[in-house]
Amino acid sequence: MSAATRLTTRHWAPPLVGLSSMLLILAAVEILIRVGLINRYIVPLPSKVLASFGRVIVEEDIFHRFLLTAWECLAAGVLLTVFGVAIGVLLHRAPLFRHACETWVAAMASAPLVLAYPLFLVIFGRSALTIIMLAFIAGLAPVILKTIEGLSATRRVLINVGRSFKLTPAQQFWKIYFPSALPTIFVGIRLGLIFALINVVGVEFLINFGGLGQLINELAERYDLAGTYAAICFVILVSVVFFVTTERAERWLTAAD
């Protein structure tokens, strides 16, 4: 076996083992259900779940639901980017306010804000606005904290270059601070977007309104087991694709830095 073949085998072996293990587990579950060791009214046959994907996609109008969830995430994402970055910049420029509020913002990040969804239901009604506002609030803290972190980590030499060119404060911000902090700010936006997606789908499920989250709730209430599992798999797939895409964008930005 040549060195190149050994290298390729070493590279592909772990993912193959991982994938085959998952397929083996699914096959074992299929067999255990078929022989009656697992109750098929609690866990559906994996083959049935796979077969129900097409039905869920066509009959449940999954594309429209996906767009609705994506729109809610996008709206929350725009809000948390605009307000999160703006608050972060303001706190960075006012050190006294920063020292007074940074701990509160960090505490806000660890508070279970999504539990306030009944309050948001009262304020905004059972509508997309409730979902968007809750996702916005839940994703705000990491954007603020990472914006402050990014701006504070601007290298002294870059700031001095700006001063030597006698840049105005606005020019100093747009030409020095902001480009330098952008990769870190994007890390915050990415975290905020992940929080937003989690909250959007979660609240859709809880209040039975909107896109993909509501679909899971509806299928579970209809006791469509295979459909429920298929919808859960679809949501996992969407969140993984979302996570990978934002991760790639973050890597690209960090590499550009």
Partner 1 sequence: MADSGGLTRARDARPWLTPVALLRVAIVLAVLVIWQLMAISGWFYSDVVPALPAIAVALVKLLSSGDFYWNLWVTIDEIGIGLLIGGLSGLATGLVIGANTFLAKAFEPYLYYLGPTPKIIFFPVMIMWFGVGAGAKVAMGAVSCFFPIALNVAAGMRQIDQVLIRVGQSFRANPWQMAIKIYLPAMRHPIINGLRLGLGVAVIGTLLAETKMSNRGIGFLVIQAYSMFDMPRMYAILIVLFVVAIGANALVAHFGGLDQIKQK
Closest CA to 55 of 227, 184, 171: 227
Q: How many residues bind partner 1 (CB under 8 A)?
A: 50
Whether 122 contacts 133, CB under 8 Å:
no
Show the site string, 35-54: x = touches partner 1 by CB under 8 A, - = not.
-------xx-----------
CA quadruple 60, 61, 63, 64: dihedral sign: negative
Question: Does 119 participate in binding partner 1 (rule CB under 8 A)?
Answer: yes
Q: Which of 133, 134, 176, 201 binds partner 1 (CB under 8 A)?
A: 201
Write down how long the chain is: 257
Whether 211 contacts 65, CB under 8 Å:
yes
* DSSP letters for 15-35: HHHHHHHHHHHHHHHHHHHHT
Residue 68 or residue 219: which is nearer to partner 1 going by CB? 219
Q: Min. distance of Cβ 172 from partner 1 in angstroms? A: 26
Question: Does 232 participate in binding partner 1 (rule CB under 8 A)?
Answer: yes
Whether 148 contacts 91, CB under 8 Å:
yes
Question: Would you give the end-to-end CA distance of the chain in angstroms?
Answer: 41
Q: Which of 197, 210, 226, 230 binds partner 1 (CB under 8 A)?
A: 197
Q: Which of 5, 112, 156, 255 binds partner 1 (CB under 8 A)?
A: 112
Question: Does 33 participate in binding partner 1 (rule CB under 8 A)?
Answer: no
Residue 104 or residue 174: which is nearer to partner 1 going by CB? 104
Separation between Cα atoms, residue 214 and residue 208, nearest integer Å: 5
Question: Does 21 participate in binding partner 1 (rule CB under 8 A)?
Answer: yes
Question: Does 167 participate in binding partner 1 (rule CB under 8 A)?
Answer: no
Question: Does 225 participate in binding partner 1 (rule CB under 8 A)?
Answer: yes
Neighbour count for residue 16 (Cβ, 10 Å): 10
Question: Does 27 participate in binding partner 1 (rule CB under 8 A)?
Answer: no
Buried b (16+ CB within 10 A) or exposed e, 206-216: bbebbbbbbbb
Q: Min. distance of Cβ 42 from partner 1 in angstroms? A: 5
Whether 234 contacts 219, CB under 8 Å:
no
Separation between Cα atoms, residue 193 and residue 140, nearest integer Å: 9
Q: What residues make contact with partner 1 under the rule CB under 8 A? A: 13-15, 17-18, 21-22, 42-43, 96-97, 99-101, 107, 110-112, 114-119, 121-123, 194, 197-199, 201-202, 205-206, 213, 216-217, 219-220, 225, 228-229, 232, 235-236, 239-240, 243-244
